[in-house]
């Protein structure tokens, strides 16, 4: 199923705030109050060392690969949930990853100290 989605969805390049390099996004659903569901393809070497938080809830499931958020690794099959305002730092994906992410509203990143 992932291969099918990966092949047929319209992917676009996107810069996650305070991170490099760019990721690829494929939008799946837009809901009320700006909520949305998206596939995110993190390239090998992706990193966001900065501290900060989103102003909405974020939930994700790693489908392939691994990402690390604030020192916690999330491998394929793992679920992460961060309530609005939850600070995070030092996010990265050394080998790349594919994740399904849901945001409860507009994904506004607030840089931390």
Chain segment 49-87, per-residue pLDDT in tens: 999 999 999 999 999 999 999 999 999 999 999 999 999
**Bond before 21 cis per omega within 30 degrees:** yes
Rounded CA Rg of the chain: 13
Q: Write down the domain spans for the chain.
A: 2-111
Chain segment 23-58, per-residue pLDDT in tens: 999 999 999 899 999 999 999 999 999 999 999 999
| Residue 111 · residue 50 · CB < 8 Å | yes
DSSP run (H or E) holding 40: strand 36-42
**CATH number listed for the domain at residues 2-111:** 2.60.120.10
């Amino acid at each position: 199923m992932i291969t099918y989605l990966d092949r047929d969805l319209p992917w676009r390049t996107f810069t996650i705030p305070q991170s490099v390099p760019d990721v690829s996004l494929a939008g799946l659903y837009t809901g009320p109050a700006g909520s949305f569901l998206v596939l995110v393809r993190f390239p090998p070497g992706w990193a966001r060392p900065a501290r900060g938080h989103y102003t909405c809830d974020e939930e994700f499931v790693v489908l392939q690969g691994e990402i690390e958020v604030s020192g916690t690794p999330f491998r394929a099959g793992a679920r992460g949930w961060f309530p609005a305002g939850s600070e995070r730092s030092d996010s990265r994906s050394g080998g790349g990853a594919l994740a399904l992410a849901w945001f409860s509203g507009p994904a506004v990143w607030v840089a931390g100290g």
